[in-house]
Amino acid sequence: MAEAETDPHEARRPGASLRAASVSRAFAGVQALRDVTLEVHRGEVVGLIGPNGAGKSTLVNILTGFDFPDEGSVELEGHDVTSWSAHRRGRHGLARTFQHGRSFRGLTVRENVEVAALGTGTGARTAKRRADVLLERLRLTNYAHLPAASLAHGDERRLGVARALATEPAFVLLDEPAAGLPEAEVPDFAAVVRSVRDTDDVGVLLIDHNMALVMDVCNRIHVLDHGATLAQGEPKEIRANVDVAAAYLGETAVHGNVT
């Protein structure tokens, strides 16, 4: 029997979480994730870091319904969504950005944000207002009438964030949103992430190699290495963890970008 649809608003209970529980995933015999448990609550920013190949992208795909675990489960505000599609999870309050943009390059910047809002069932007038607010927050107002294809790489990343927020999510997963941003713009972007957490009461999972950004905005940090959890804790704990330093951070990485 097909699983009954639930009302999207029923699934959004303040204070609940997005949770991956004991998730494992293998590809052609290679273990990408091994028994990983991670939880993000509304109103907090959790950083997800680790060296290339650590399993970060696999975990994000499993959380958002673009892939499915071999073992373990995913819960969204109390609902077991392990078998749910990405689209269904999106309608229940989960949004994400992508490393490689995925904007509608033939539409204008404003239209990209409006389309994302319209996808939640909102009216055209509300979608336009929502786009205006988000373009201002993400410093994209000057590009509103330009085609998305004309944006520089860093601006396209910010457009991805605006599109995700246009759905008014309960949780948003930001996949390397600071990649390509000039270093001078990172503090402004950090302020945006904080406002999403504090003003919108959204739970944020931040995946980024910019350790200055991660250490600055995250309440907690989860470190993956070779598909398994290496460490988790507050930024000061992660900064002082010798295993994390050996596997990933290094003496200079915590102060800036990791190559």
Residues 243 and 151 in one domain: no
Q: Where are the alpha helices (DSSP H) in the chain?
A: 56-64, 86-91, 109-118, 124-137, 153-165, 186-198, 211-217, 235-240, 242-247, 250-253
Same domain, yes or no, for 198 and 83? Answer: yes
| Alpha carbon of residue 179 to chain centroid | 13
Is residue 78 located within the same domain as residue 103? no
In the numeric block, which tokens belong to residue 210?
């910019």
Residue that terminates a domain, selected from 166, 200, 215: 166
By the 8 A CB rule, do 172 and 95 touch?
yes
Judge whether 14 lies within some domain: no
Look-up: residue for tokens 């050996």? 246
Q: Are residues 258 and 174 in the same domain?
A: yes
Q: Clarify whether residues 89 and 188 are in a common domain.
A: yes
Mark whether 59 and 159 lie in a shared domain. Answer: no
Does residue 47 surpass a pLDDT of 60? yes
Q: What are the pLDDT digits (tens) for 85-100?
A: 999 999 899 999 887 6
| Tally of domains within the chain | 2
* CA distance readout (Å), 97 to 55, 94, 101, 124, 238: 17, 11, 7, 23, 25
- Nearest alpha carbon to residue 157 among 100, 214, 92, 80: 100
The model's pTM is 0.84
Q: Which residues form the domain of 70?
A: 19-93+169-259
pLDDT at 129: 93
Written as one string, the DSSP assignment of 130-176 is HHHHHHHHTT-GGGTTSBGGGS-HHHHHHHHHHHHHTT--SEEEEES
What does the pLDDT look like over 181-207, one tens digit per residue?
888 888 888 988 998 899 888 999 999
Do residues 221 and 61 touch, judged by C-beta distance below 8 A? Answer: no
Residues 51 and 175 in one domain: yes
